[in-house]
A and B are shown apart, each in its own frame.
Chain A
């Protein structure tokens, strides 16, 4: 049962298409695991549809329809899709079939597997600190996304944020600020939060972490390591 959800304005921004790729990945990951938020997001997409329809119509070029039909005919029926993400049933985001785990054993939602290159077993981990590994997935300047793996009972350095950090639990659990986060739960932390998440003792904890500004580590080790680990 998911108890921590993204705020409405974040779901709305995802529906509107104004989020960066890393934050969109966090939304797609949470929405895969959370039917309640999917319903909210669907409402916002419907809102987008209504708003576009209520738009006053622009004038098209006189030959617009003919040009579009020409484009369709030129593409032909047998030509593969362009590299543009589909609506809803994207083909470009689908990982290679060989890397997709069979139903029942999959851990990572497919939008995430696209970046990891497969399910959790395909992750290429790099050490980040005692008991902590990570795998950078997206780093485009605006926001970055990474997988984090924390050993049972270990904690991440105490840190705070200049911008936002979104964390989604994929395996195991962690607690922070007196709250417990499990699979599918999404935690949002902003500049006002300084926390020190601790992984549950029952299992390793795997999370997707998305940050839109560099983290600030509160302890000496974190500050010393920060330039080297590129967070």
Chain B
């Protein structure tokens, strides 16, 4: 079954740009612009996500989900980081509940989009949040913001659950670790600001490249499998992805306008 996913977009040339899947309207979900395009956008979502729903048996499409309108307070990344720091200081169930209400439904959606059936996605979302509690002593706001840290926990749980594999990782206490140099001003950036900068950089990408970036995180296929299924050279798949990620990086390095 050919899905309307990263396969399609990589198969096309980079210039067609027909579906604004992760277009400005979606990224600016919390702005008034969101409302103006909501109807058109919802249609697109239903079209692109139908096969996912079919596969997972989920009853909620993205278009149905309550994301329109003003953001709840908890969507502020700095607040999420503050909550994690409070949880680290004192394991408080009220603080945990607020984190849970924001992150657990999104982690579940992440798992489902990557192919987990409804029950497994629910289970993995709950496990991810239990892991947040259990690993909270390791949370380091200097190194990662709340969303980055929780994403990495969810990703690793997914790899373990889907593939029974490990994800070898850099360890900060490794005696062979070559430390960061004094340069690299990006890393000096406040981690709350980093999320905002990432969002701004995404917003500058053409729709097609934004979609490649987006689907790279939501479609778990090796590049070689993509190339084989599309019947296009592996090098072409890679170079299209490379262009998208280079452009994202370039946008991230530029001052916010």
Q: What is the interface of chain A, defined by CB distance below 8 A to chain B?
A: 7-9, 11-13, 16-21, 24-25, 27-29, 31-36, 38-40, 42-61, 64-65, 67-69, 71-72, 75, 81, 83-90, 92-94, 100-104, 106-112, 114, 140, 142, 163-164, 184, 190-192, 212
Contacts and interface: CB of A to CB of B under 8 A. Distances in A.
A32 B170 contact: yes
16 contacts: A29-B168, A32-B171, A45-B152, A46-B145, A47-B248, A50-B202, A52-B217, A57-B66, A57-B106, A58-B60, A58-B112, A68-B104, A72-B133, A84-B157, A84-B160, A93-B166
B144 A47 contact: no
A75 B171 contact: no
B152 A39 contact: no
Interface in B45-67: 58-60, 62, 65-67
A38 B180 contact: yes
Interface in B68-125: 75, 77, 93, 96-97, 100-101, 104-110, 112-113, 121-122, 125
Interface of chain B, main secondary structure: helix
A104 B166 CA distance: 28
Contacts of B3: none
Contact of B177 (A32, A58, A75): A32
A127 B216 CA distance: 40
A56 B49 CA distance: 12
Interface string B232-245: 00110010011001
B151 A55 contact: no
Contact of B104 (A28, A60, A90): A60
A118 to B, nearest CB: 13
A39 B100 contact: no
Given A49-B150, A54-B27, A58-B108, A88 B168 contact: no
B133 A88 contact: no
Chain B's interface size range is 35 or more
B252 interface: yes
A65 B168 contact: no
Nearest to B149: A87
Contacts of B110: 52, 55
A90 B169 contact: yes
A12 B178 contact: no
Contacts of A36: 184
B178 A17 contact: no
**Candidate in A8, A94, A101 with the most chain B CB atoms within 10 angstroms:** A8
B134 A72 contact: yes
Contact of B186 (A11, A43, A86): A43
Contacts of B65: 56-58
Query: What are the nearest 5 A-B pairs in CB distance?
Result: A49-B147, A87-B152, A57-B105, A56-B65, A9-B241
B12 interface: no
A57 to B, nearest CB: 3
A60 B122 contact: yes
A92 B104 contact: no
Contact of A12 (B104, B153, B167, B216): B216
